[in-house]
Chain A
Amino acid sequence: MSDDLRRVMCVEDDPDIRLILEFSLATVGGYEVCMCASGHEAVFAAQVFRPDLILLDVMMPGLSGPETLSELRKLPEIAGVPSVFLTAKALPGQLEDLLECGATGVIVKPFDSVRLPRDIRIYWEHGRARSAH
């Protein structure tokens, strides 16, 4: 695992939110980002991009967020990468279910686009500490 958070992969089907995420993480946060519009795209891109952290939307057509995560986990180079879900906290008990999937954290929509780069770093550090144990 890399010793700094540099590359962030985002999986989000809504093009406007993709734009916001890219602006927030690349322009404000200074991260190298890889934007994916679907789970399948993410599975394809992840092997080349080798992200340090994955940010996933939950409700997406095709592969859902949790399904995408479980597909990504099958890739040896992605298996230990911290992941964070973005959710419109829809169903009761959803937060718990998402953390059960093995995600490091959950960020609730609408999120603070200025604070997002800092927030994901907190999760990345937490996820790295957890996998070190």
Chain B
Amino acid sequence: MKPFSRSPLRILVVRRPGAAGDALSAALAGLRHGDEAVDNIDAALARMQHSTPDVVLLEVGTGEPLDAALVARIRALGTASWMPILAFASGDAGPPGAQPGSGAPTLRMPRSQRARVEALDIGMDDHVELPEDLPLLAAMLARYQAILQSQRDMQTFGQRQRDIHDNIVHAVLTFDENGRAVETNLAARLTFGAATQNRLLATDLLGQAGSGHDALLLGGRLELQRIDGTRFQAEISSSRWKEGQQTRTTLVVRDITEQLRVERMRDEFLATVSHELRTPLTSVLGAVGLLAAGAAGALPPQAMSLAAVAQRNGVRLSKLIDDILDLTKLEGDRMVLHMRCQPVARVIQESIAANQGYASGLGVYLRAEMEPPSLVEALVCVDSDRMLQVFGNLLSNAIKHSPRGETVVVQLSEASDGFRVSVSDNGPGIAPEFLPQLFEKFSQEDSSDRRSLGGAGLGLYIARLLVERMGGTIEVGTPSHGGATFNVWLPTVTGVARGAECSALSSAQRAIQPPSGASE
């Protein structure tokens, strides 16, 4: 409430012409209120059709008798807010109200007080005698002004809340303990296809949700039904709160039909691109591989070296396609991981075996170490193919950067709440200024490096995203002896996960893993 900025009251006065009425108008003007005078009830009612006053002052004896029905008619023309209606009698009017002997037995009280009781009885707010009660009227109007102002403030506040509610782009619905909707916003009406709030409130929204009441109140992704019976996919978040003794549940419902359509289109696009890129590459690599293997007759040495160039670069292109498709899936959160419990030592062993050929070709040794040896039993919950991809990336980087005759060491050790797998090489190491970008997209130490060793700078970025998706972390260490060390931390498997994964393991074991496609 702002006591110094009260707006003047708009007062509708219904009075007989004459000196008393003029004095009232003058007094109201003196109080800085605006008054509009009419001389009969019908004129007042007609006026109220166009604009609602703040206060109505009715002179007793202006034609129609003042009764409850008339007061109700006046109130019906007002707004939802309270509108004070006062009766007044001027000195020259006769005694108002009921005749002696009618109605309840009256106590012995002054005529003016009796008139007030009668006014209140028929639904008016008070009765004053003019001109003697003019100071009382002024004080009452000041009071009404304050009350009406706070009423307006509340209405403004309520309207603002409703506007905010209606301007939330997602459907917001509030339910009571019995699962009945008690309040909805505009987006809820649009989402569910209801013309009005009442139509929506009258619908058993929770009952129509196929997955049931409780699932809906818990939130998540569900299929919901519109008023017209059509269904849509929704993402729901839910919160419970108290209104007095009542528990309310407010749901924010997001229609994700369009989002799912876009995701499906993107998956289909990815599938097409993947197919269209790999199909010609299959022919290229297949043909070159057969040529190089002498399947079409022994090649002269010079032709062999050319076939090897074609083969090497075909494989490189194939890896780049894999990386780009992986990246698209990871960044769009479309990568499906098949997490299951398995000994981390076995994953390490498999990745070493997969890279043994590459290492031998470059004259580099691979060695696995375990400290303590009991770690051979240590379990982690990972997607083994993707973990092989991560370790494979670290190993091939380490092999690539190792001088001939050196050894790349893969070490498994205990770490806080999990295990650490370190891949260390004795290569030239990583320039300190390059360390911050190491796990970023398209990061290469320099352009000449890209030419000499191959790669688009996606490997470590993908490795980081994969390790993070599997709940682990990856970082680069700074060994004192030179070279480079990459550490992958993987969390210990909790009891619950271990139980849950056992069933996944048995179903996954039915399928044998395909041999890797293009190997070097």
| Cβ–Cβ contact A115 & B281, under 8 A | no
Once the chains bind, are A105 and B512 in contact (CB under 8 Å)? yes
- Assess whether A17 is in contact with B279, with CB atoms less than 8 Å apart: yes
Of chain A, the residue at the smallest CB distance from B276 is A88
Chain B residues with Cβ below 8 Å from A104 are 512
Name the residue among B270, B279, B318 with the largest chain A CB count within 10 angstroms: B279
Cα–Cα distance between A52 and B128 once the two chains are bound (Å): 110
Chain A residues whose C-beta falls within 8 Å of the C-beta of B274 in the assembled complex: 88-90
Partner of B287 from A20, A106, A119, A123 at Cβ < 8 Å: A20
- Are B278 and A20 neighbours in the complex by a CB distance under 8 Å? no
- Whether B329 is near chain A, meaning CB under 8 Å from some CB there, is yes
Contact A88 B512 (CB under 8 A): no
Q: With an 8 A cutoff between CB atoms, is B298 at the interface?
A: no
The answer to whether A92 touches B518 (Cβ under 8 A) is no
A103 to chain B, nearest CB (A): 9
A39 to chain B, nearest CB (A): 17
Contacts of A115 in B (CB 8 A): 515, 519
Does B279 contact A88, Cβ atoms closer than 8 Å?
Answer: yes
CB B425 to nearest CB in A, in angstroms, measures 27
Q: Does B335 contact A (CB under 8 A)?
A: yes
CB neighbours (8 Å) of A17 from chain B are: 279, 282-283, 286
Binds B, one of A22-30, A40-48, A66-74: A22-30
- In contact, B293 and A28 (Cβ under 8 angstroms): yes
Q: Is the CB of B329 within 8 A of A111?
A: no
B519: chain A residues within 8 A (beta carbon)? 112, 115
Q: Does B441 contact A (CB under 8 A)?
A: no
Contact of A114 (CB < 8 Å), options: B277, B280, B289, B517: B289
> Which of A14, A20, A23, A126 meets B512, CB within 8 Å?
A126
- Residue numbers in B under 8 Å from A108 (CB-CB): 514, 516-517
A99 within 8 A of B: yes
Return the CB mask of A90-133 against B: 1 if under 8 Å, else 0: 11110110010000111111111111000100110010000000
- Contact B295–A16 (Cβ < 8 Å): no
- Contact between B271 and A91, CB atoms less than 8 A apart: yes
CA A95 to CA B383, docked complex, whole Å: 14
**A6 vs chain B, min Cβ distance (A):** 20
Q: Across the interface, which residues of A come within 8 angstroms of B270, CB to CB?
A: 90-91
Q: Which of B275, B277, B295, B514 contacts A28 (CB under 8 A)?
A: B295
The reply to whether B287 and A110 contact each other, CB–CB distance below 8 Å, is no
Residue tally, chain B, CB below 8 Å to A: 38
Considering the complex, which residues of chain B in the window 257-290 have a beta carbon less than 8 Å from any beta carbon of chain A?
267, 270-272, 274-275, 277-287, 289-290
A92 to B289 CA separation, bound complex (whole angstroms)? 28
Q: Does chain A have a CB within 8 A of B46? A: no
Q: How far is the CA of A92 from the CA of B329 in the complex (A)?
A: 8
Q: Is the interface of A mostly helix, strand, loop or mixed?
A: mixed
Binary interface profile of A, 46-76, with partner B (CB < 8 Å = 1, else 0)? Answer: 0000000000000100000000000000000
- Assuming the contacts A88-B275, A89-B274, A92-B329, asked whether A111 and B517 have C-beta atoms less than 8 A apart, the reply is yes
Between A21, A109, A122, the greatest number of chain B beta carbons within 10 A of the residue's beta carbon is seen for: A109
Bound form: Cα–Cα A115–B519 in Å: 10
Report if B336 contacts A (CB, 8 A).
yes
Please name all residues of chain A whose beta carbon is closer than 8 Å to the beta carbon of B518 when the two chains form the complex.
Answer: 110-112
Number of A-B contacts (CB under 8 A): 107
The number of residues on chain A lying at the interface, defined by a beta carbon within 8 Å of a beta carbon of chain B, is 36
Q: Which residue on chain A has the smallest CB distance to residue B293?
A: A114
Q: Is A27 within 8 A of B295, CB to CB?
A: yes
Q: Given the complex of chains A and B, what is the CA–CA distance between A123 and B270 in angstroms?
A: 29
Chain B residues near A23 (CB, 8 Å)? 286, 290, 295-296
Q: Which B residues are CB-close (under 8 A) to A99? A: 510-511
Q: A23-B295, A114-B290, A114-B293 are in contact. Are A109 and B278 (CB under 8 A)?
A: yes
B367 on interface, CB distance cutoff 8 Å:
no
Q: Which has the most chain A C-beta neighbours within 10 Å: B278, B283, B338, B516?
A: B283
Cα-based distance from A58 to B338 in the complex (angstroms): 22
B160 to chain A, nearest CB (A): 46
Contact A90 B515 (CB under 8 A): no
Tell which of A21, A109, A110 has the most Cβ of chain B within 10 Å.
A110
Bound Cα distance from A102 to B125, whole angstroms = 85
Proximity bits, B490-511, A CB within 8 Å = 1, else 0: 0000000000000000000011
Report yes or no: A14 in contact with B290, Cβ–Cβ below 8 A: no
Give the shortest distance, in Å, between B202 (CB) and chain A (any CB): 42
A106 and B267 within 8 A (CB): no
A96 to B287, CA, bound (A): 29
Is B334 an interface residue when CB atoms closer than 8 A count as contact?
Answer: yes
Interface string of A1-40 (1 = CB under 8 A from B): 0000000000000101101110110011000000000000
| A-binding residues in B (CB < 8 A) | 267, 270-272, 274-275, 277-287, 289-290, 293, 295-296, 314, 318, 329, 334-336, 338, 510-512, 514-519
Interface set of A (CB-CB < 8 Å, partner B): 14, 16-17, 19-21, 23-24, 27-28, 59, 88-93, 95-96, 99, 104-115, 119, 122-123, 126
A-B CB proximity, top 10 nearest: A20-B286, A90-B271, A88-B278, A113-B286, A16-B283, A108-B517, A110-B282, A99-B511, A92-B336, A90-B274
Q: 15 more A-B contacts (CB under 8 A) besides A90-B271, A113-B289?
A: A20-B282, A20-B286, A23-B286, A23-B290, A28-B293, A88-B277, A88-B282, A92-B267, A92-B335, A106-B514, A110-B285, A110-B314, A111-B282, A113-B286, A114-B293
**24 residue pairs bridging A and B, Cβ less than 8 Å apart:** A14-B279, A14-B282, A14-B283, A16-B280, A16-B283, A17-B279, A19-B283, A27-B290, A88-B282, A89-B274, A90-B274, A92-B335, A93-B336, A108-B514, A108-B516, A109-B282, A110-B278, A110-B285, A111-B282, A111-B517, A111-B518, A113-B286, A114-B289, A114-B293
